[in-house]
Amino acid sequence: MKHRISVRITLLVLLGLLLACNIVPRLATSTPQQRPAIGREFTPAPEELVPWNELNTLWGPYLAEREWGNPREALEGDGWGLNYMKAIDTAYRYGEDGIAGLTDIEEMVCFAWAFWDEEQPHITERLKGFTNPEGEFGEDIQEERVFWENTPTHSYMRYQYRYPFSEPRFDIEIMYAKRDDQTLIAQVTASALDGGTLHVLPKAWFRRGGEVRHREGNALDLAYNGGHFVVLPAQEASGWQMTTNETGRKGDLDRALTGNGALSNSGQGNMSMLDFPLALRAGESKTLRFALANGPNYETAHTAAQRALDGFDSILELRRGEAVALYRDEVTAHQDVYQYALMNLLWNRMYYEYDGSFESPYQGKVNLHDVVFVPDKWEFPWPAMWDTAFQAKVATLVDVELAKHELRVFLSDRWQLSRGHVPNCEWMMAEETPPLFAWAAWEIYQTDGDRAFLEEMWPRLELHYDYFRLAMDLDHDRLYRGGFMGMDNIPRPDGSDVEQADTSGWMAFFARHMVSIANELGETERAEYYQKHYEQTCAQINAQLWNEEDGFYYDRDGSGHLREKSYVGLIPFIAGAPDESQVERILAHLRNPAEFWSDYGIRSLSADSELYEPGYSQSGWKNSNWRGPVWLPINYLLVQTMAGYDSTLAEELRENLIAAVESEWQRTGHFFEYYHAETGEGLGADHQTGWTALVANLIHERWH
């Protein structure tokens, strides 16, 4: 059972004081950043602190929370073969993980935190949880952590963690603040819920290569080809140790501390740890401070770190003030949940590397290594394509350049195949989720009018459309099939003659946005081409997938319609396929509390179905449930669509969705994967500020 931190938002007073006193200037947008390169060029740090938006993004929260239990780290051909316990002593191949981790955009140098209370059998170097076969509901994190402030340049980041997971005795707050592009400060404050000793264990290492040296004053010097990264503590450590980040040696730090009660003050290699034991009485708090600096040599990096320690308070005050003012006053209602949805999205930026090795047809066909948005850095620490499209939409409120970056990564030779296919995710490279990149590109373009970006995306979008057209419509009737299309256990017919309402609707949606983009770029003939496809697909949807008796769209096979009212039949509505009379019948289903309507949003499956399960699935499906719960991405598109037909109903849905997400965030500090249709309880992944961060768009579009 996950231990939830009871959250009551108390920042309003602080925010009000900061803004009232004009301590922090209001910064509307961030400056687009060029991708820096670690260790290749070192610019002297400025004497004065520059505003957050003048910093680059070289360092950020790009470390995964879970690298184990993923196809890229598969053992013996099993994507779940590497579990939490094996990860203690098994070297990874493609990435690293840690608690509140910090790394550079190439993941050369890694820094994170570990903890031990002298009672647990192992130190906690990474967040504990279960693989899909082990967990009651699939991949299941057992630790409790909450993500707080973050900025587009990661100039200030705050993270809350409770330890140990089984019975929390310590509440731990971790903060980072940047002095400049290459120098940060870090602060850890441990508060005892119950008395005891807590070992705070800062850990610094290289993913591969490099060497760590222990220097005077317990400084750690991470020397690599091109520079030095220095960890400088402000207080004396009780011990230190080095080891090698390779199988058989990776667990040396754990064995030393849990076996002997202390680090060895010895060793060599490219992984290191310091030990700071804190004896705490119940209710007592203690704070540790550190400086982290990257430079061309040890002396330069150490000097920068010392300067950061000397100016610690002023750096922390400025960066914290900038962060708590960010995104304030952009909306006139729901300001807190709006602000933290955007900041939580930024916590989900992660270094990701994969070459397709888990599925042999893709080995060598993809070659991705970049910082990208992922759905959830613990439960889904890999990019998934329709999540990416929705995250790009949210990112337009954060920094439109981040939104463009996502599409540029996945619609490139590094990921998109020559035939146009965009692999869904490393678990299912060949399978499809809704093709939403044209919609995302158009939404990004609406934000800043960057025509060059639209022109850049256009040939890639055409390639992607052609792939779907040829691969998903084998009988060339303008109706499509694509499997579960991201809605894992939604009711489906099976067989070779299936035509799907949602896949066909998504393709109409795709074509409609291709028309808009083509017209904007002056591609008149292509606009006519896509308009014809749109009209033909809509006509076929209405002719073959509309059930006149029920007034709803369904999947069809040779025996007829699968008459289960679900999100499947709402996608043609979102695409604009129905005529006026059909719209009224669909709206009647949506309004009906016995079918789709709930106080928390539109259900994924009608409540009058025998298959209806409003929360976690009890029918054997573990990972996610599309047979009743409320999912924000479909609901977001429904709000946009319904506004054109019944604005009152659309606004009521908007308010229900915001209230559901906001109340659970206030109660727990989390943005969940989906929500219980009868109670509003947050379910699934608890850091799903991929598409659940769309709550910020729902707020912005109404109260901006």
pLDDT in tens, 169-215: 999 999 999 999 999 999 999 999 999 999 999 999 999 999 999 99
Distance of CA 47 to the CA centre of its chain: 35
Q: Please report which confidence band the pLDDT of residue 33 belongs to, taking 50, 70 and 90 as the band edges.
A: very low
Query: How far apart are the C-alpha atoms of 505 and 577, rounded to whole Å?
Result: 8
- Whether the pLDDT of residue 19 is over 70: the answer is no
Query: How far apart are the C-alpha atoms of 163 and 127, rounded to whole Å?
Result: 10
User: Is 141 part of any domain?
Assistant: yes
User: Is 106 part of any domain?
Assistant: yes
Burial class (CB in 10 A: 0-12, 13-18, 19+), 640: middle
Q: pLDDT per residue over 380-420, tens digit each? A: 999 999 999 999 999 999 999 999 999 999 999 999 999 99
- Do residues 318 and 18 lie in contact, with contact meaning Cβ atoms separated by under 8 Å? no
Total domains present in the chain: 1
Q: Please, how many CA atoms are within 13 Å of residue 689, restricted to the half-sphere of its CB?
A: 29
Q: pLDDT per residue over 601-627, tens digit each? A: 999 999 999 999 999 998 888 889 999
pLDDT of residue 40: 67
Structure tokens at 402: 């981040």
Element (H, E) at 153: none
Mean pLDDT, residues 570-591 taken together = 98
Query: How far apart are the C-alpha atoms of 37 and 388, rounded to whole Å?
Result: 24
Query: How far apart are the C-alpha atoms of 255 and 264, rounded to whole Å?
Result: 10
Beta bridge partners of 557: 560
- Do residues 382 and 690 lie in contact, with contact meaning Cβ atoms separated by under 8 Å? no
Strands (E) in 283-429, as ranges, are: 285-295, 349-354, 368-373
> Could you tell me which residue, 13 or 522, shows the higher pLDDT?
522
Query: How far apart are the C-alpha atoms of 389 and 488, rounded to whole Å?
Result: 18
Q: Which residue has the tokens 């429904």?
A: 638
Strands (E) in 41-168, as ranges, are: 59-60, 99-104, 109-116, 129-130, 140-141, 144-147, 156-163
Query: How far apart are the C-alpha atoms of 396 and 444, rounded to whole Å?
Result: 6
User: Is 168 part of any domain?
Assistant: yes
User: Is 16 part of any domain?
Assistant: yes
Q: Helix, strand or coil for residue 440?
A: helix
pLDDT of residue 12: 34
Structure tokens at 665: 């965030």
Distance of CA 360 to the CA centre of its chain: 27
pLDDT of residue 36: 65
- Do residues 553 and 479 lie in contact, with contact meaning Cβ atoms separated by under 8 Å? no
User: Is 114 part of any domain?
Assistant: yes
pLDDT averaged over every residue in the chain: 94
Query: How far apart are the C-alpha atoms of 459 and 464, rounded to whole Å?
Result: 9
pLDDT of residue 619: 86
- Do residues 156 and 343 lie in contact, with contact meaning Cβ atoms separated by under 8 Å? no
Query: How far apart are the C-alpha atoms of 16 and 18, rounded to whole Å?
Result: 5
pLDDT of residue 16: 36
Q: pLDDT per residue over 314-355, tens digit each? A: 999 999 999 999 999 999 999 999 999 999 999 999 999 999
- Do residues 526 and 458 lie in contact, with contact meaning Cβ atoms separated by under 8 Å? no
pLDDT of residue 43: 82
pLDDT of residue 28: 30
Burial class (CB in 10 A: 0-12, 13-18, 19+), 663: middle
Provide DSSP, 168-222. Answer: --EEEEEEEEEEETTEEEEEEEEEESS-EEEEEEEEEEESSS-EEEEEGGGEEEE
- Do residues 432 and 485 lie in contact, with contact meaning Cβ atoms separated by under 8 Å? yes
- Do residues 240 and 275 lie in contact, with contact meaning Cβ atoms separated by under 8 Å? yes
Longest dimension (CA), the chain: 81
Segments forming the whole domain that contains residue 90: 11-325
List Cα–Cα distances, 125 to 66, 112, 553, in angstroms: 11, 8, 50
Distance of CA 413 to the CA centre of its chain: 23
Structure tokens at 84: 């939490």
Structure tokens at 530: 């896509």
Instruction: Specify the CATH number for the domain of residue 119.
Output: 2.70.98.10
pLDDT of residue 32: 35
- Whether the pLDDT of residue 27 is over 50: the answer is no
3: DSSP letter: P
Residues in Cβ contact with 663 at an 8 Å cutoff, skipping those fewer than 6 apart: 680
Query: How far apart are the C-alpha atoms of 58 and 229, rounded to whole Å?
Result: 13
Q: Helix, strand or coil for residue 216?
A: helix
Query: How far apart are the C-alpha atoms of 608 and 564, rounded to whole Å?
Result: 9
Query: How far apart are the C-alpha atoms of 58 and 159, rounded to whole Å?
Result: 20
User: Is 638 part of any domain?
Assistant: no
Q: pLDDT per residue over 102-134, tens digit each? A: 999 999 999 999 999 999 999 999 999 999 999
- Whether the pLDDT of residue 7 is over 90: the answer is no
How long a stretch of residues is the chain? 704
- Whether the pLDDT of residue 39 is over 80: the answer is no
- Do residues 61 and 53 lie in contact, with contact meaning Cβ atoms separated by under 8 Å? no
User: Is 300 part of any domain?
Assistant: yes
- Do residues 267 and 252 lie in contact, with contact meaning Cβ atoms separated by under 8 Å? yes
Element (H, E) at 58: none
List Cα–Cα distances, 457 to 122, 205, 453, 521, 532, in angstroms: 49, 38, 6, 11, 21
Residues in Cβ contact with 66 at an 8 Å cutoff, skipping those fewer than 6 apart: 97, 126, 127, 129, 139, 141, 377, 378, 379, 381
Instruction: Label each residue of 587-627 as H, E or C.
Output: HHHHHCCCCCEECCEEECECCCCCCCCCCCCCCCCCCCCCC
Mean pLDDT, residues 259-265 taken together = 97
Mean pLDDT, residues 283-302 taken together = 98
Kindly compute the dihedral angle of the four CA atoms of residues 560, 562, 563, 565, in this order, to the nearest 10 degrees: -140
- Do residues 144 and 163 lie in contact, with contact meaning Cβ atoms separated by under 8 Å? no
For residue 441, which amino acid is it? A
Mean pLDDT, residues 551-560 taken together = 96
Residue from 400, 403, 338 nearest 373 by CA: 403
- Whether the pLDDT of residue 45 is over 90: the answer is no
Query: How far apart are the C-alpha atoms of 98 and 114, rounded to whole Å?
Result: 8
User: Is 332 part of any domain?
Assistant: no
Q: Please report which confidence band the pLDDT of residue 35 belongs to, taking 50, 70 and 90 as the band edges.
A: low
Beta bridge partners of 290: 186, 233
Residue from 72, 704, 698, 656 nearest 390 by CA: 698
Provide DSSP, 536-590. Answer: HHHHHIIIIIEETTTTEE--EETTEE----BGGGGHHHHHT-S-HHHHHHHHHHH
pLDDT of residue 8: 37
Provide DSSP, 462-504. Answer: HHHHHHHHHHS-TT-SS-B--TTTT-TT-----STT-BBHHHH
What pTM was computed for the model? 0.94
For residue 538, which amino acid is it? C
Distance of CA 394 to the CA centre of its chain: 11
